[in-house]
Amino acid sequence: MSSRKPNYLLITMLLLFSGSGQVRAQDDGFEQAIRAVRDGACLQCHEAEGEWSSWLRSVPPPLLDGAGLRLRPDWLIDWISDPATDEPGTRMPHALAAVPEDQRREVATDITHFLIARDRGPGDWSPVQFHGADVDLGKRFFDTIGCAACHDGAAMSARMARRTTKTALVEELQQSHAIHRSGRMPQINMEPTEAAAIATYLIRDQATDANGDPIIDVIAGLRYEAYLGRFENCEKIVDGELVASGTAETISVDPKPRQDNFGIRFFGEFLVSRPGQYQFSLRSDDGSKLWIDGVLVVDNDGVHGPTTRTGSMTLTSGWHGLDARVFEHGGGETILVLWSGPGIDKEREFRPAELRTRSSVALPVEPPFRLVPGRIIRGGQAYSTYGCNACHEPKAAPNQKNWNQLRAEPVGCLSTDPPVGSPAYNFDDEMIKNLITLIDSVEFEMALEPRAHAELLIDDAGCTRCHQRNGRGGPDAEKNKTFLGTAELGDEGRLPPLLTGVGTKLKYDVLHKTIAEGLKVRPYVVSRMPSYPAALAEEVTRAIFAGDNESPSAPFVPAFSLESRKVGHQLTGTDGFRCIDCHKFAGHDSLGEPAYDLALMGARLQPRWFHEYMIDPQSKRPDTRMPTFWFDDVSLFPDLLGGDSDAQVDALWTYLAAGSAAPFPKGLIINRSDFDLFPSAEEPTLVGVFMRGLSGRVVAVGYPDRVSVAYDMENVRLGKAWRGDFINVKGTWVGRAGSLESPAGTDVIDFPPGLPVAIIEQRDSKWPDDPVRDQGWRYRGHQRDAQRKPIFRISGPGGVEMTELVVPLVAADGVHLRRIFRFEGDTLPRNLAMRFARSKQISPAGDDAWITAEGMTLAVRGLSAAVVEVDGMMELRASVTRAGAEVEVEVRW
């Protein structure tokens, strides 16, 4: 333990630096010192122990595995020679500062040879073709999806053109977590074509002549690429095997590489002579999509026969990017794109003169790079001598003084003339002073105050480049312009949401998923939420919750009742607060502005935050357009729940907690095609369908409570259940028979394959998997009960007669299911058993209840159920020994 006494004044200031956002200059200096220690990876060399070390823990550096393949050799040499020359302000220290200036480039060249040889390089630096439309599209993506919030496009383009190749940059954009482990280069979810467009924009300067002017060829027609694969949607086409490419005068299936199982992508530009709104018609067999300037205009995707879809877009005069894709699954094939608009009164195909492709070829690396054995050996030695392996693989053990043994003096890395093995950080005098004070003051016993820890990690991850939190961060005036969205919603429709108090707003698992997966719930905001490495996402989530809940209050859960849910239903619709005027519901459009989907709120928000927000929206988001519905605690609807504001807010929560399974609010306009089926409000709807994962004989049942099931008549079992929208029957009713349907809703669960009842020799015998008929079981149809719910009838060997009734179970956390089995007749065969669940793990969850690894909770009543292990899996089973038995299984998920 250190003998130094703690500087309590400094500690206090360190703990306060993130509290209100009003930081004193002295506090800010210490904050910057802490960040400098983290960014500079000081603890990679100077080992430290104790809780306080989490303050100073190093931000993980980029992974160098593969660097010799993805980075251009000439750039690597320049970068290692002096990183700040290539990127002023970089966090990368100058490892070769102690090497005489006239020798640095030689040492850097040796290290470059070592890195490239270690990766079995050099990489492929052959010329790559660029397309002008991709450059324009890439700039648009870069400026709008979030890249521009952190990066200057012009400066980054100049650097990337020297640094890497298009192929390597596409891979880095799509798999940044594998390289940038700190999360400071988060991964924005994007399609391969989007990543390729951004990469083309960033390295476009590779295709310039000696004067720096772009080398561009303009070719009439569109570029096409033909792929082989068994596709079911257009996004997957570019993941197939590329077998042909060329130029086409028009969009058709003529470049097809074979009769079935192929996809074609057409891309380039088309000429608009007059500004205005244009209509586009897309007819295809099978699926197709049309993007204009990177915006999806017509979606005709999926496996189907000849089908036409339309869309429109307002365009300026001039050339616009076009991307059309079609795939053929089987049978006939066609694609036809027609357009009309100002000056084009009757829809027609594009004329050859209206289509073009701009292309250029990147210049090869000059001169070609060749490995020299002697340099490889010297480079490996230099890699260790100059401390590269202190941070980068293969890592060496810390070889410098322990942190608490450091002298509070400007020596080593803090000196103006660091020794060999100590990098130069180019700190100014003020920073060196703050670092020395920090070294002199930190004690092992110090613990990081939760709010300070949260702010530290949030800033590490770059969240405040886009988001505001506690008055800090958010885009500056120039970056603010790059955030686009829905004008009707103002800044709420284009800027990322506030992070102030987000640990009291979102549920823990939702916040974690948002950070780890880049979860996006505001489709009207053009920028995209990036995803971060799993370990960082977990750490940031924990820190935010700890920081925002330093004074935790008692759990707040509104009391559930069917009356309250009914009132919430009314208040949401046009007979109430008219929430659907602005908000979507379960994917269906609002009557006006397309604000946040109400059906997501129950799953995402904490009920206390929701309550406080509804009572006073401005307290949570100043300048929000969300109105207040209670004035001096007086309700607009005094006859509902006595006009009590708290009770009415709780009613809204009770209703919305059901999510997409909640009944539609009155007045909602349902987005439906000719083949979307919705249950009536009075009784279940039954329809026969072909469903993916089940047999060809399935009856789908949609209940008024917006929960649905699929019963497999061929295999005599309940196959699936889901919430929300019911089903689209287009694949069953139209085109080639046998096209498989999927549930239209959300929260889909699968029940165990095989019969729910069987005759087995022993308690833990393998469950029979022979064909149902061979086992002697038959589906005997269904009848309806007094509420018109279907009762499925089954007969089996030994005179077994069984029925199953599925009943929706409305609860505080949404709509679940109750399965009711009845065994009719006077006798039952020996060894008759039921199976309710099959999973890798089934654990007790209370009295007569169990939970599976997939999160399904089952409560069994009427039989004594138990878990058995069979073939490495767990199954929940029960013996049926009594004729006339009634078994009730409550299924929650």
Full DSSP string of 545-599: HHHHTSSPPPP--PPP-HHHHHHHHHHHSTTTT-GGGTB-BTTBPPSSS-B--GG
- Position 28 scores a pLDDT of 66
SS3 16: helix
Say yes or no to pLDDT of 833 above 60: yes
Mean pLDDT of 93-118: 96
Per DSSP, helices labelled H in 209-290 are none
b/e map of 196-224 (b: 16 or more CB within 10 Å)? bbbbbbbbbbbbbeeeeeeebeeeebbbb
In this prediction, residue 365 has a pLDDT band, given cuts at 50, 70 and 90, of low
Q: Are 411 and 376 in contact (CB under 8 A)?
A: no
Mean pLDDT of 797-826: 93
CA distances 578 to 292, 417, 418, 626, 666, Å, are 35, 69, 68, 12, 9
Mean pLDDT of 750-758: 95
Q: What is the pLDDT of residues 319-363, one digit of tens each?
A: 999 999 999 988 889 999 999 999 999 999 999 999 999 988 777
Mean model confidence pLDDT for the chain: 89
Domain residue spans of the chain:
8-60+396-441, 62-125+369-390, 145-205, 217-361, 450-548, 562-661, 672-744, 752-893
Q: Are 364 and 126 in contact (CB under 8 A)?
A: yes
Q: Are 745 and 678 in contact (CB under 8 A)?
A: no
Say yes or no to pLDDT of 210 above 80: no
Helix (H) or strand (E) holding 345: strand 344-348
Kindly report which listed range (403-412, 727-736, 783-792, 855-864) carries the lowest average pLDDT score: 727-736
Q: What is the pTM of this model?
A: 0.82
Mean pLDDT of 236-262: 94
Tokens of 231: 């596709």
Task: Round to whole Å and give the CA distance between 12 and 365.
Answer: 55
Task: Round to whole Å and give the CA distance between 38 and 44.
Answer: 10
Query: For residue 617, which of 587, 577, 557, 590 has the smallest C-alpha distance?
Result: 577
Mean pLDDT of 600-613: 96
Mean pLDDT of 237-264: 95
Tokens of 528: 């995209």
In this prediction, residue 730 has a pLDDT band, given cuts at 50, 70 and 90, of confident
Say yes or no to pLDDT of 466 above 70: yes
Considering all CA atoms of the chain, what is the largest pairwise distance in Å, rounded to the nearest integer? Answer: 100
Q: Are 515 and 541 in contact (CB under 8 A)?
A: yes
Task: Round to whole Å and give the CA distance between 583 and 589.
Answer: 8
Q: What's the CA angle centered on 295, arms 291 and 297, to 5 degrees?
A: 60
Task: Round to whole Å and give the CA distance between 727 and 17.
Answer: 54
Task: Round to whole Å and give the CA distance between 66 and 122.
Answer: 10
Say yes or no to pLDDT of 2 above 60: no
Q: What is the pLDDT of residues 618-627, one digit of tens each?
A: 999 988 999 9
Q: Are 22 and 376 in contact (CB under 8 A)?
A: no
Say yes or no to pLDDT of 673 above 80: no
Mean pLDDT of 736-760: 87
Q: Is 302 left (phi over 0), alpha (psi -120 to 50) or beta?
A: left
- Position 17 scores a pLDDT of 35
- Position 713 scores a pLDDT of 96
- Position 129 scores a pLDDT of 80
Q: Which long-range contacts (CB under 8 A, 24 or more apart) does 149-156 make?
A: 149/465, 149/466, 149/475, 149/479, 149/482, 149/483, 149/527, 150/462, 150/465, 153/201, 153/202, 156/202
562-661 matches 217-361 in CATH topology = no
Helix (H) or strand (E) holding 869: strand 865-870
- Position 402 scores a pLDDT of 82
- For residue 749, the Cα-to-chain-centroid distance in whole angstroms is 21
Mean pLDDT of 646-657: 96
Say yes or no to pLDDT of 21 above 60: no
- Position 13 scores a pLDDT of 32
Q: What is the pLDDT of residues 493-508, one digit of tens each?
A: 999 999 999 999 999 9
Mean pLDDT of 480-493: 90
Q: What is the pLDDT of residues 5-17, one digit of tens each?
A: 433 333 333 333 3
Pairing label, strands 276-285, 241-248: unpaired
- Position 86 scores a pLDDT of 84
Per DSSP, helices labelled H in 573-713 are 601-604, 607-615, 617-620, 645-656
For domain 217-361, say whether CATH 2.60.120.1560 is its number.
yes
Task: Round to whole Å and give the CA distance between 540 and 218.
Answer: 49
Q: Are 58 and 41 in contact (CB under 8 A)?
A: yes
Cβ count near 799 (within 10 Å): 13
* CATH match for 8-60+396-441 among 1.10.760, 3.40.50, 1.20.140, 1.10.10: 1.10.760
For domain 562-661, say whether CATH 1.10.3720.10 is its number.
no
Say yes or no to pLDDT of 222 above 80: yes
Cβ count near 161 (within 10 Å): 18
Q: Are 365 and 77 in contact (CB under 8 A)?
A: no
The three state secondary structure string of 799-864 is HEEEEEEEEEEEECCEEEEEEEEEEECCCCCCCEEEEEEEECCEEECCCCEEEECCCCEEEEECCC
In this prediction, residue 308 has a pLDDT band, given cuts at 50, 70 and 90, of very high
- Position 27 scores a pLDDT of 55
- Position 3 scores a pLDDT of 40
Q: What is the pLDDT of residues 547-581, one digit of tens each?
A: 999 877 788 989 999 999 999 999 999 999 999 99
In this prediction, residue 52 has a pLDDT band, given cuts at 50, 70 and 90, of low
Q: What is the pLDDT of residues 685-718, one digit of tens each?
A: 999 998 989 998 999 999 999 999 999 999 999 9
Please, what is the angle between helix 132-144 and helix 153-163, to 10°?
130
Length, in residues, of the chain: 893
- Position 1 scores a pLDDT of 34
698 CB-near residues (< 8 Å, 6+ apart): 688, 689, 690, 691, 710, 711, 712, 713, 714, 719
Q: 783: which strand partners?
A: 791
Cβ count near 304 (within 10 Å): 19
The alpha carbon dihedral of 537, 538, 539, 543 has a sign of: positive
Tokens of 142: 């870069």
Q: What is the pLDDT of residues 435-460, one digit of tens each?
A: 888 887 755 444 567 888 888 899 88
Q: Are 796 and 880 in contact (CB under 8 A)?
A: no
- Position 14 scores a pLDDT of 38
Mean pLDDT of 380-390: 94
